[in-house]
């Protein structure tokens, strides 16, 4: 429907990356942002692809190295 926005589209990739870095599962990230786990899975895949990362472990390292988050941080 033109003009409508899926709530999942409002979640920015950095927020997904921070969730991954915090060790959250897709379901936990989905609960935090009130979106479907399948939407989180799509966002995770897009983040990994866009940043040329192999897996969630590399995503955590990237988040720490880029200063997006730090170990033990809740945000």
Establish if 41 belongs to a structural domain. yes
User: 39 with 30: CB under 8 angstroms?
Assistant: yes
What domain range includes position 30?
11-65
Q: How far apart are CA 13 and CA 72, in angstroms?
A: 20
CATH code, domain with 60: 1.10.10.10
pTM of the model: 0.80
Does residue 35 lie within any of the structural domains? yes
pLDDT band at 70 (very low <50, low <70, confident <90, very high): confident
Q: Is residue 71 domain-resident?
A: no
Residue 4 lies in a domain: no
Q: CA-to-CA distance for 20 and 11, rounded, in angstroms?
A: 13
The answer, yes or no, to whether residue 6 has pLDDT greater than 90, is: no
Residue range 22-50, pLDDT digits in tens? 999 999 999 999 999 999 999 999 999 99
Residue 21 lies in a domain: yes
């Amino acid at each position: 429907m033109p003009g409508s926005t899926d709530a999942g589209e409002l979640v920015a990739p950095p927020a997904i990356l921070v969730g991954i870095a915090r060790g959250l599962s897709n379901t936990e990230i989905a609960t935090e942002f009130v979106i479907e786990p399948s939407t989180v899975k799509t966002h995770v895949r897009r983040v990994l692809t866009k940043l040329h990362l192999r897996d969630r472990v590399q995503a955590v390292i990237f988040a720490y190295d880029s200063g997006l988050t730090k170990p033990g941080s809740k945000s």
